Structures are given as C-alpha cells and as structure tokens.
C-alpha cells in the first residue's frame, strides 16, 4: 500500500480577520496575543502526528492576505491522481484559487498528480471538505446547501466517474461536510446528526449499517473533533471529550489529540488543515468487508 501523502500549508499568515462562518470573530483573535504563535505550534504538531502515523506531508508556502490558505482540504478534491480544483462561495476566499491552482500544477509537473482540472464555469464547490471519499463503500459523500452546490456534486460525479451521495447540511455552523462527518478506514462513519437535514439523515442511515455509525455528541462536534485525519487505526483530531475517545477506542481506533484551538477559531481543524493526495478508488478488500 502506498505511503499516505498529505498537503499542508505554512501557517505564517494565518489569522481571523473576517467572518464567513459562525466560528469566526476577528475581535476574539485580536484580543489573543498568543494566538499566532500557538497556531504555528499547532500546525507543526499536526504535521508531526501525521508523519508519526506513517504519512508524508508536502508543505506549500503561506501568502499574505490569504489567512485561510491553511485549509487545503477546501482547495480541491483528489482521487486516483486527478485533482478537481475548488471554486469558493465567499469572495474572501476566492484569492486562494490562483495560488492553490499553481501549487497543484506544480505537483502534477513533479508526477505527484497526473491531472489538474477546474470546475465548469459558474459552478461552486469547496473541495474535499464537501466531497468525502468513502473507501469502504466506493463513493463520495457530497455536502451541499451551505457552501457547495448540487451542480458542484454533479461535476464531481462527471469528472471522477464515481457515485456522489448528496447530503444536505442544515446549519451554517457546520458549513462543510467535513465539519460534521468522517468516513473512517474501518468502515465506520463518525457524524453529528443535528448538522444534517432530516432527508440527509435518512439517506445516511439507509446506506450505512447502524453498528457502523458513530454519533458524535454536541461537545465533540463543537470541539470540531469530527474534522479528523484517519490513517488506518489512528485517528488524529482536536482535543476530544472522554465520550468520543471511548467510542472510538471501543471500535479499535487509536486516538491522537492535537491542540488545534487557534484554527478552531476560524472553523477548521485537522481534516481542513490537510489534504490527502494519494486516495484511490481501487477497492480495499478489508474495508469492503466492513459493510
């Protein structure tokens, strides 16, 4: 199996200087004199946790004026070496599109990726944050209704030639699917039910056996623990309440906690801060057997 390969961004210019989700409050950031230093330490700790778990991490440089460039999961969706670049809903993030495109083209030129493509004109979709590949089942879970559009999900189905199961998000507090749902390598789904519409919950529960669903409680969701990185049995996430730790350990996962509080001030955590570059649609027999 290939070494897990991730993309992260230097956090040198990270800050909370605008508000495009309920987590963000520039006044709170400005009042916290140590936030920038803690953000640098948190990013380094997350990178170390990924590498300790067996991954390798590519770093791209920070750019002044683009504080949310630290969340490359929103930059693109990647599967089978093919990247479909994002188009952002909010003007505050549209400046990220050009540097992310250049970074992905450089990855293609080095052979890390084999294709980099852009969405059809006018289509909005915010990358892997709203396109979660489920290796156990062989489809994308697609979030929509807050940032990404149904047209964006359709573009993913067309480009990747894979099924996209649409799940509508119910609240701006959980604005991307990755903030409230995480398919895990053992076939489980970690999710926070109040983040979804009733129809989305029916779809999810119709498609996944009850014993493979792990419900996060309010405390875990508000700590952005669902926004996690998963490598095999290892789950890397923000500081978790004991209830979530117990639920994961009972199913055979090993939890690694990282203090990501500076990034949570912007509404992002471990998954948002990294993008897996080596995902493949090839079936994994051990995962497929989980269902």
Extract the runs of DSSP E, i.e. beta strands, from the chain: 5-9, 56-60, 76-79, 82-85, 115-117, 131-134, 139-144, 164-168, 181-183, 189-191, 213-215, 229-231, 234-238, 254-258, 275-276
Q: Which CATH class is domain 5-280?
A: alpha beta
Domain map (residue ranges) of the chain: 5-280
Global pTM reads 0.96
Q: What is the DSSP string of 171-218?
A: -GGG-SGGGTEEE-TTS-EEE-GGGB-HHHHHHHHHHS-GGGEEE--H
Catalytic residue among 13, 125, 176, 188: 176
The answer to whether 225 is a known catalytic residue is no
Q: Is 90 a catalytic residue?
A: no
Per-residue pLDDT of the chain (291 residues; tens, 9 = 90+): 689 999 999 999 999 999 999 999 999 999 999 999 999 999 999 999 999 999 999 999 999 999 999 999 999 999 999 999 999 999 999 999 999 999 999 999 999 999 999 999 999 999 999 999 999 999 999 999 999 999 999 999 999 999 999 999 999 999 999 999 999 999 999 999 999 999 999 999 999 999 999 999 999 999 999 999 999 999 999 999 999 999 999 999 999 999 999 999 999 999 999 999 999 998 754 444 444
Question: Ramachandran region of residue 88, left (φ > 0), alpha (ψ -120 to 50) or beta?
Answer: beta
């Amino acid at each position: 199996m290939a070494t897990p390969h991730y993309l992260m961004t230097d956090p040198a210019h990270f800050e909370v200087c605008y508000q495009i989700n309920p987590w963000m409050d520039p006044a709170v950031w400005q009042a916290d004199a140590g936030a920038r230093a803690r953000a640098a330490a948190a990013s380094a700790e997350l990178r170390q946790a990924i590498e300790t778990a067996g991954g390798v991490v590519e770093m791209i440089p920070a750019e002044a004026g683009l504080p949310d460039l630290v969340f490359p999961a929103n930059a693109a969706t990647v599967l089978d070496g093919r990247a479909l670049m994002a188009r952002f809903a909010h003007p505050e993030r549209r400046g990220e599109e050009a540097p992310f495109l250049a970074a992905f083209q450089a990855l293609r030129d080095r052979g890390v990726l084999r294709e980099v493509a852009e969405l059809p004109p006018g289509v909005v979709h915010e990358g892997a944050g709203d396109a979660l590949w489920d290796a156990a089942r062989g489809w994308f879970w697609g979030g929509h209704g807050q940032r990404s559009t149904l047209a964006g999900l359709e573009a993913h189905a067309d480009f990747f030639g894979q099924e996209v199961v649409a799940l509508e998000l119910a609240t701006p507090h959980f604005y991307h699917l990755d903030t409230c749902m995480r398919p895990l390598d053992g076939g489980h789904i970690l999710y926070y039910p109040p983040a979804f519409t009733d129809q989305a919950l029916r779809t999810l529960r119709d498609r996944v056996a009850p014993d493979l669903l792990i419900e996060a409680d309010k405390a875990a969701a508000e700590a952005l623990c669902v926004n996690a990185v998963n490598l095999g049995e290892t789950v890397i996430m923000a500081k978790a309440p004991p209830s979530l730790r117990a639920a994961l350990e009972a199913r055979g996962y090993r939890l690694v906690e990282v203090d990501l509080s500076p990034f949570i001030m912007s509404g992002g955590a471990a998954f948002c801060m990294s993008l897996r570059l080596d995902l493949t649609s090839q079936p994994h027999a051990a995962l497929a057997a989980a269902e």
